A and B are shown apart, each in its own frame.
Chain A
Amino acid sequence: MSNVNQVRISVENLSRNFQEVHPGLTKQEAMEESNRCLYCYDAPCITACPTGIDIPTFIKKIASGNVLGSAKTIMTANPIGASCARVCPTEELCEGACVLNHSTKPIMIGNLQRYATDWAIQNEQILFQPGKKNGKTVAIIGGGPAGLASARELGRLGYDVTIFEAEEKAGGLNTYGIVSFRLPKEISYWEVKQVESLHVRIRTNTRVGKDISVEAILENYDIVVLAIGMSSVPDIGVSGEDLAGVYDAIEFVKETKTKPISNQFLKKRVAVIGAGNTAIDGATCSVRLGAANVKVLYRRTIEEMTAYEFEYEFAKQDGVEFRWLTAPKRIIGDGQGHVKEIECIKMELGEPGEDGRRRPVPIEGSEFTLEVDAVIKAIGQSRYVDLIEEFALEHNGGVIKIDHNTFQTSNEKVFACGDVIFGKGQGEAMVVSAAQQGKETAHAIHKSLFHSVTETS
């Protein structure tokens, strides 16, 4: 496989492939870049950031040598600001709005944000103080970006906050789902630590509905925030999905973030089904595990693909091949229970469906097979419908219904934010919007209990 990233990818030392791809800016680069920022007034980059970080100010603080102040400016607005510096589609957000797009080239806002937060991480800074206790208790179910962001704000407002997290570590998809070479888990852990420093208790290895009952939660806390995100990748609905060698992309990525890197993909041929960011992460992970050939099969075209442009570019540089208008028909085993081939069918785009996107229609008789050693399913995520129903909340196919101003569900003491309220057909869910919703949920809770919003300072 010829590819540009090949130089960076080592077949001998697979673990090296999972180290962060981009080095951070050096001090000199950060100085030069931060001094290039115009420090606009009423800057469009602030509006373009879903969490509204005061970008010109944090950049000015890097330039002045007040890096601690810079990190505070970032993290005040965005409790997940260190991760976001790495995983935000900045060219669609802040950098896309930079006024310098109209004259020279935009400021590297993401990289500068990373520079400031990396500094805070390396210097072990604790940025915020807990607020004076106000006597109210909040249970947050799920310690991903949305849960952590609301916990951070509630902690600063003086709430007694407990996060219930099913996994061994908090951080949600930032810890387990986004590949290490884009987001090392240590970054996510640091954000978790910032939240813990506000006296927020995090009960890990505790799955609500299993390790603790829904009733117990509803009874023992004044307010409940549901921030459970989405669940595993659903079945594609073709035969052979149970064969060995068929993976759920999220589980697959999680393995690379939690276990020693294995060499079972070395020289293998991999097909990834889907073309969202999860598919891209599954594909690039496979390349980095030493796979000989990785193909992304997508039943629509590049136009409908939900992966971010930078992710797509990154995958192409990794040598990933894209097969558009291609859908899996069945996965064929080798007779010993292991994947051998995948049969596909060519598609064409028909009339627009419910979500407005043109619906792919199979072209009869266009079947073909590809020889593969592994199939990675990445066609989105299913929903925790059972748990939502246990909470007796109104939902639409697992998307919890909320009042968009208050983040309140059909049960007025239960609030919901993050991927769990992420509607279908809205493109890809983002860490930064989960963080913003978490923040807004906290402010809405505070308003509902105290009828006024006290600014945290």
Chain B
Amino acid sequence: MADLRINLAGIESPNPFWLASAPPTNSGYQVQRAFEAGWGGAVWKTLGDPILNVTSRFAAVSFNGQRVAGFNNIELITDRPLEVNLKEIYETKKRFPNHTIIASLMVEPSQEKWHEIVKKVEDVGVDGLELNFGCPHGMAERGMGSASGQVPELVEKQTYWAKEAAKTPVIVKLTPNITDITVTAEAAVKGGADAISMINTINSLAGVDIDSWNTIPHVGGIGAHGGYCGPAVKPIALHMVGECARNPRINIPISGIGGISNWKNAVEFLLMGATSVQVCTAAMHHGFRIVEDMIEGLDHYLDERGIASVMDLVGKSVEKYSNWGDLDLNYKVVAQINNDICINCNKCHIACEDTSHQCIDMLKDPSGNSLLKVREEDCVGCNLCAIVCPVDGAIDMIEIPSGLPPMTWNERQAALGVVSCESNK
């Protein structure tokens, strides 16, 4: 059994699996059930005011029959009075002293307001604070959430105010609704943040009902943009985590959020630099019990590799994530079709023929059986055929020696005496 305990900026947790600030962490009852199920920590549903909400809050995107590929919401922060939440945080922490409780906070951008709320939640014994600069809807209209999270100066200033009062570590939760997340991440660092977490939800409209012409969801016939999350956003979240992790100026721990549904997804975020992971949609889809497999799967993964502690995974893939200008232009892979596995759907052929480089031939073998073959000399190694192939192992992308020494774009430009256009971060 590997050691699954983590330490994120001084916040200790029995395992890296936290529930994200969202409906699953709305009350003491829920968070306690979650801890019983095995979750290591919970970021309480964002505290603040006012308490109001709309009904018809969520919508999901199914993809080819797979439910909840993506999830969209227009709900606001907590719908319960601060006093009630504080009391339940206190009770929950008392019952589960070894589990991590983080208070998620969102107040107007004023120093007193931040000082006041920070003091209140620390008094009931939270292990840390998460500043919610991320919700893309509702709160932004009032200058909170992503409205402040999109302005680096506001991020820095509010982080600073929270830090002035805070005795526990401060995590700044970033919005993805920004061109370059490292800019706000850096602002958080400048403001004194102990850690950052990302991503909050992405601006979205789940759909339009083609019969009623209403938006999905709609509130009495009118819709508004919501926040997108769930499996569909994972690549975006992973990218943002990776960009922050490899940026030397953002040298604080990261809590990774966005589309994490199982232990493998969690391992990816850990490898890309996250110390803890937060989950919302997967828990909403299946219940708290999913954490059992997350913990066990991670544990088996570490044991199999002889890795003693989960902390030893953190950031191990970061150095492999770089800029396009650092890629070897002379590295070459080509597709190879294993005809004994191939079931002859010809999808690779038509994908390559119509939309790539026309190098998969449909042939017949001497006994008249269909055969697909890649003309390697014309293959550009784009992977498209392997991506559309429905059968495991039928198409391999194999490395072939190009016969040329490695040469990156940057090296090439340097050799040509041109100044690199890649802004080296």
Contact = CB atoms under 8 A, between A and B. Distances in A.
Interface stretch (A4-12, A56-64, A227-235, A415-423): A56-64
Interface string B276-306: 0000000000110110111011001000000
Nearest to B303: A68
A368 interface: no
Given A41-B287, A57-B289, A64 B263 contact: yes
Interface in A57-83: 57, 60-61, 63-66, 68-69, 72
Given A66-B263, A68-B300, A60 B391 contact: no
Interface string A8-31: 000000000000000000111000
Nearest to B292: A57
Nearest to A60: B293
A60 B297 contact: no
Given A27-B392, A28-B391, A66 B289 contact: no
B293 A66 contact: yes
Contacts of A63: 262
Interface in A405-423: none
Interface string B251-262: 000000000001
Contacts of A68: 300
Q: Counting chain B CB atoms within 10 Å of each CB, which of A27, A41, A68 scores highest?
A: A68
Given A28-B391, A61-B293, A64-B262, A69 B300 contact: yes
Given A27-B392, A28-B391, A28-B392, A66 B287 contact: no
Nearest to B285: A39
Nearest to B298: A66
A26 B262 CA distance: 22
A60 B290 contact: yes
Contacts of A35: 66
A57 B392 contact: no
A39 B392 CA distance: 25
Nearest to A26: B392
Given A39-B286, A60-B290, A65 B296 contact: no
B264 interface: yes
Interface centre among A60, A64, A66, A68 (most CB of B within 10 A): A66
A191 B133 CA distance: 55
Contacts of A64: 262-264, 293-294, 297
A69 B391 contact: no
Interface string B408-420: 0000000000000
Contacts of B391: 28
Nearest to B66: A35
Contacts of B66: 35
Contact of A65 (B264, B287, B290, B292): B264
A61 B297 contact: yes
Contacts of B262: 63-65
Contacts of A27: 392
A255 to B, nearest CB: 38
B286 A69 contact: no
Nearest to A63: B262
A57 B289 CA distance: 9
Interface in A219-262: none
A57 B293 contact: yes
B289 A65 contact: no
Contacts of B296: 61, 66, 69, 72
Contacts of A28: 391-392
Nearest to B290: A60
Contacts of B289: 41, 57
Interface string B58-91: 0000000010000000000000000000000000
Nearest to A69: B296
Nearest to B301: A66
A68 B297 CA distance: 8
A9 to B, nearest CB: 26
Contact of B300 (A39, A60, A66): A66
A246 to B, nearest CB: 49
- Which of B262, B264, B293, B392 is most buried by chain A, counting CB atoms within 10 A of its CB? B293
A69 B290 CA distance: 13
Contacts of A66: 263, 293, 296-297, 300
Nearest to B297: A66
Contacts of B286: 39, 60
B392 A69 contact: no
A39 B286 CA distance: 7
Nearest to B286: A39
Interface in A245-289: none
Contacts of A60: 286, 290, 293
Nearest to A65: B264
Interface in B15-71: 66
Nearest to A31: B392
B251 to A, nearest CB: 33
Contacts of A69: 293, 296-297, 300
A190 to B, nearest CB: 19
Nearest to A66: B297
Interface in B232-284: 262-264
The winner among A35, A61, A63, A72 for most chain B CB atoms within 10 A is A61
Interface in A196-223: none
B306 to A, nearest CB: 15
A57 B293 CA distance: 8
B389 to A, nearest CB: 11
Given A66-B296, A69-B300, 16 more contacts: A26-B392, A28-B392, A35-B66, A41-B289, A60-B290, A61-B293, A61-B297, A64-B263, A65-B262, A65-B264, A65-B297, A66-B293, A66-B300, A68-B300, A69-B296, A72-B296
Interface of B: 66, 262-264, 286-287, 289-290, 292-294, 296-297, 300, 391-392
User: When A and B form their complex, which 8 residue pairs have the shortest distance between CB atoms, in order from nearest?
Assistant: A66-B297, A64-B262, A69-B296, A28-B392, A61-B293, A68-B300, A64-B293, A39-B286
28 contacts: A26-B392, A27-B392, A28-B391, A28-B392, A41-B287, A41-B289, A57-B289, A57-B293, A60-B286, A60-B290, A61-B293, A63-B262, A64-B263, A64-B264, A64-B293, A64-B297, A65-B262, A65-B263, A65-B264, A66-B263, A66-B296, A66-B297, A66-B300, A68-B300, A69-B293, A69-B296, A69-B297, A72-B296
